[in-house]
């Protein structure tokens, strides 16, 4: 095997481990469906019925897109954060002594958790179909095409987190502090067009805001409600997503390697 | 012959520690050698093995393994070493074979395939060969949650040998195992060492495991206290002794005194200590008819305790 194919092979093996693990834990896979069911089925339906009339677009579809991005983004972050659990269980040692780069390990984790997040996306689609929410036909296919980018951006943020969080206790407290503000302030579930003050500022610095906005731009492209749901130009979204992907992933891997070897 | 492991003036200072954990140690391990690194808790054993296996950065010093520099050729070093960690590093949600397959693919030995049957025939042959050798042939496809501690260790042996390393690092490999599992694990390790002609680098708390080592290196407070073969260490640290007794004890006592031997009278006879002489040369000089003769073979453990406690505990050679 050449050096490059060896690195790719290792990353695929690491990713496959995550996929096999998630397929083996059927219970948690089924349980994960409860999350979109509560948010889309209960919260989404309630907001749609009571406040969605004057919005000028189908709120449930709007929320479904946000939930799809949220699922891909957050599940990928959680997958990368499993490295903290692996570290606690001494499994990371096996990966660290292998003759592969740390980038291959991180890339494998991003790939594996991205695949796992797709299982959960499938669950979300299933729930949407059961609830009778329109998926939007080809527009949803465009969203699926964008899904690798969404997963990569979530993976980059996860890499940064794993670079600074070194124990499971901190991860358990810290991860929700990163996940929940993004879920509520990025516009994934609740429109943020009219946010002001601190909330608007927070929405601007949330990486997921730009990922959600880019996804909606792709989904609603050419639709009359485009300007009601999209905040920024897609070019700006792409630029910001690429910028934070590069910064977070490079900084995250550097911190991760440093924390492991320079004790 | 070029040493397989060459460590020169190795120093490790942890960021939050006042004292370095390793204070400039130097040693060499030759190809095929069984090298045991011993020392009490906090002596610097795990720090040293972590540096040698590339999981911890050193502060200063030079390390070469299999001819490769640890700083500039870490990947090459990793390709040539196998490790059994102090705590098992296995994924308990996967099967035994899935753990081995992951390892083989991390080392770039075989292209990853999602099912065992799709893996290359050479991989399947090597896995079953090693599994049969350690007696795990019937358990390859079982989840690790059903494995005992000893079985997990055996699985780690299979895994660490998959890439045919030139040196196998064993970091307290039997800690937490019962006596039977320890015994059988060492039986397999000896068999594998002979068969694969492998260099073994061991750290352990069970000193009997190091009795068969070619070289024993005792570290304490981050420094090498003593290094040599187990026999050399015992001779350097402990008085050798023999126990003799006779029906006519008084005559024997007189004779021992007349010969100028150092001895102590005990309930089972006279414990005679010697350093330059041999039991045979002493016996040749005794005329009194003996009723008892016992040559006491000191253990490495006694020598070790003498060294790390500064001669205040044990180590009297009996």
Size of interface A-B (CB pairs under 8 A): 86
Assess A1–B contact: CB distance below 8 Å, yes or no. Answer: yes
CATH number of B5-233: 3.40.50.300
Residue B31 buriedness (CB in 10 A; 0-12 / 13-18 / 19+):
middle
Query: Residues 14-73, chain A: which have Cβ within 8 Å of B?
Result: 14, 16-17, 20-21, 24-25
Domain interval for residue A74:
3-261
- The pLDDT value given to residue B315: 38
Domain boundaries, chain B: 5-233, 239-297
Strand order in the sheet with B60-65: B22-29, B5-12, B60-65, B68-69
What is the tens place of the pLDDT at every residue in B25-71? 999 999 999 999 998 888 899 899 999 999 889 999 999 999 999 99
Closest alpha carbon within chain B to A96: B55
What's the rounded Cα separation, in Å, for the pair B103 and A91? 11
Of B43-47, B102-106, B216-220, B300-304, the one with minimum mean pLDDT is B300-304
Query: Do residue A93 and residue B78 have CB atoms under 8 angstroms apart?
Result: no
Long-range CB contacts (within 8 A, 24+) of B184-189? B184/B135, B184/B150, B185/B150, B185/B153, B185/B154, B185/B157, B188/B133, B188/B134, B188/B135, B188/B154, B188/B157, B189/B157
Query: What ipTM does this complex have?
Result: 0.83
Which among B85, B89, B105 has the least Cβ separation from residue A13?
A: B105
H-state helical runs in A186-206: 197-205
Does the beta-carbon distance from B108 to A24 stay under 8 Å? no
Contacts of B118 (CB under 8 A, 6+ apart): none
- Chain B contact for A4, CB < 8 A? no
Give residues with Cβ within 8 angstroms of A232, minimum separation 6: A210, A213
Regarding the domain delimited by B239-297, which CATH topology (the fold level of the hierarchy) does it fall under? Alpha-Beta Plaits (3.30.70)
Q: Has residue B314 got a pLDDT over 50?
A: no
pLDDT tops 50 at residue B285: yes
Task: Kindly state the percentage of chain B with pLDDT values over 90.
Answer: 53
CB-nearest partner of A93 from B79, B89, B108: B89
The mean pLDDT of chain B is 88
A68's tokens: 């799809």
Give the A window 77-96 contacts with B, CB below 8 Å.
89-96
Residues of B with CB under 8 A from a CB of A: 14-15, 53-57, 75-76, 78-79, 81, 83, 85, 87-94, 98, 101-103, 105-108, 111-112, 114
pLDDT(B99) > 60: yes
Total of domains in chain A? 1
Average pLDDT over residues B162-168: 91
Select the residue from A13, A18, A82, A256 to test the B interface by mutation, using most B Cβ atoms within 10 A.
A13
Position A263 scores a pLDDT of 63
Contacting residues of B for A24, CB less than 8 Å apart: 93
Q: What is the pLDDT of residue A233?
A: 93
Q: Is the pLDDT of residue B316 over 50?
A: no
**Residues of chain A positioned with their CB less than 8 A from the CB of B90:** 91, 94
Whether B91 sits inside 8 A of A92 (CB atoms) is no
Would you call A138 exposed, middle or buried from its count of C-beta atoms within 10 A (0-12, 13-18, 19+)?
exposed
**Cβ <8 Å between A263 and B15:** yes
Instruction: Say which residue, A69 or B308, is predicted with more confidence.
Output: A69
% of chain B beyond a pLDDT of 70: 97
Please calculate the CA angle A12-A17-A18 and round it to the nearest 5 degrees.
100
> For B134-145, what is the mean pLDDT?
88
pLDDT of residue B53: 93
Q: Which residues on A lie below 8 Å from B112 (Cβ)?
A: 9, 12-13, 16
A103–chain B Cβ distance below 8 A for any pair: no
CA distance B194 to chain A (A): 25
The shortest CB-CB distance from B78 to any of A9, A99, A261 is to A99
Query: CB-CB: which of B54, B81, B102 is closest to A13?
Result: B102
- State yes or no: pLDDT of B229 exceeds 70: yes
Minimal Cβ distance to B108: which of A10, A262, A263:
A10
pLDDT by position in tens, chain A (length 263): 788 999 999 999 999 999 999 888 888 777 777 877 888 888 888 888 888 777 788 888 899 899 999 999 988 998 888 888 888 888 888 888 999 988 899 899 999 999 998 888 888 888 888 888 888 788 888 888 999 999 999 999 999 998 888 888 888 888 888 888 888 899 888 888 888 899 989 988 999 999 999 999 999 988 888 888 899 999 999 999 999 999 999 999 888 888 776 66
pLDDT at B317: 34
Shortest CA gap A250–chain B (Å) = 20
More confident residue, B317 or B226: B226
User: To the nearest whole angstrom, how far is the Cα of B85 from the nearest Cα of chain A?
Assistant: 8
């Amino acid at each position: 095997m050449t050096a490059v194919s060896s690195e790719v092979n290792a990353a695929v093996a690491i990713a496959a481990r995550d996929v096999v693990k998630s397929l083996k834990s059927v219970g948690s896979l089924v349980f994960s469906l409860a999350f979109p069911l509560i948010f889309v089925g209960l919260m989404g339906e309630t907001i749609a019925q009571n406040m969605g009339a004057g919005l000028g677009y189908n709120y449930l579809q709007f929320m479904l897109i946000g939930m799809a991005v949220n699922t891909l983004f957050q599940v990928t972050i959680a997958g990368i954060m499993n490295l903290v659990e692996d570290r606690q269980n001494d499994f990371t040692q096996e990966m660290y002594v292998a003759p592969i780069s740390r980038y291959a390990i991180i890339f494998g984790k991003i790939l594996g958790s991205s695949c796992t997040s797709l299982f959960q996306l499938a669950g979300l689609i299933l729930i949407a179909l059961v609830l009778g929410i329109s998926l939007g036909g080809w527009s949803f296919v465009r969203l699926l095409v964008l899904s690798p980018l969404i997963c990569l951006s979530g993976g980059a943020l996860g890499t940064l987190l794993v670079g600074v969080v070194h124990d499971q206790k901190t991860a358990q407290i810290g991860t929700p502090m990163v996940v929940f503000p993004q879920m509520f302030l990025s516009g994934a579930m609740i429109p943020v067009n009219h946010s002001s003050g601190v909330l608007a500022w927070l929405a601007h610095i949330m990486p997921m805001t730009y990922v959600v906005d880019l996804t909606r731009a792709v989904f609603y492209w050419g639709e009359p409600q485009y300007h009601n749901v999209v905040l920024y130009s897609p070019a700006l979204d792409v630029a910001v997503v690429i910028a934070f992907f590069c910064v977070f992933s490079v900084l995250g891997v550097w911190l991760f390697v440093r924390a492991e070897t320079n004790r | 012959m070029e040493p397989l492991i060459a460590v020169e003036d190795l120093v490790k200072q942890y960021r939050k520690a006042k004292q370095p954990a390793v204070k400039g140690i130097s040693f060499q391990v030759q190809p095929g050698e069984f090298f045991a690194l011993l020392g009490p808790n906090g002596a610097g054993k795990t720090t040293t093995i972590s540096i040698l296996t590339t999981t911890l950065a050193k502060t200063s010093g030079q390390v070469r393994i299999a001819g490769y520099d640890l700083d500039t050729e870490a990947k090459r070093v990793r390709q040539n070493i196998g490790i059994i960690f102090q705590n098992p590093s296995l994924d308990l949600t996967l099967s035994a074979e899935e753990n081995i397959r992951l390892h083989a693919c991390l080392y770039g030995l075989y292209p990853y395939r999602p099912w065992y049957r799709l893996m290359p025939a050479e991989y399947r042959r090597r896995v079953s060969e090693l599994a049969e050798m350690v007696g795990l042939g019937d358990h390859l496809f079982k989840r690790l949650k059903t494995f005992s501690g000893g079985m997990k260790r055996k699985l780690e042996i299979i895994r660490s040998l998959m890439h045919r390393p030139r040196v196998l690092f064993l970091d307290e490999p039997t800690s937490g195992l019962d006596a039977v599992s320890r015994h059988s694990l060492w039986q397999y390790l000896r068999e594998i060492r002979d068969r694969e002609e492998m260099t073994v680098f061991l750290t352990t708390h069970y000193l009997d495991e190091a009795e068969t080592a070619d070289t024993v290196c005792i570290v304490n407070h981050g420094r090498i206290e003593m290094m040599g073969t187990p026999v050399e260490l015992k001779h350097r640290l402990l008085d050798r002794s023999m126990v003799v007794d006779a029906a006519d004890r008084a005559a024997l006592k007189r004779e021992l005194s007349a010969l100028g031997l150092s001895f102590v009278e005990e309930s089972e006879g006279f414990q005679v200590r010697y350093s330059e002489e041999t039991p045979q040369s002493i016996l040749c000089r005794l005329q009194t008819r003996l009723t008892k003769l016992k040559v006491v073979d000191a253990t490495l453990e006694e020598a070790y305790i003498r060294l790390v406690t500064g001669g205040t505990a044990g180590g009297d050679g009996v």
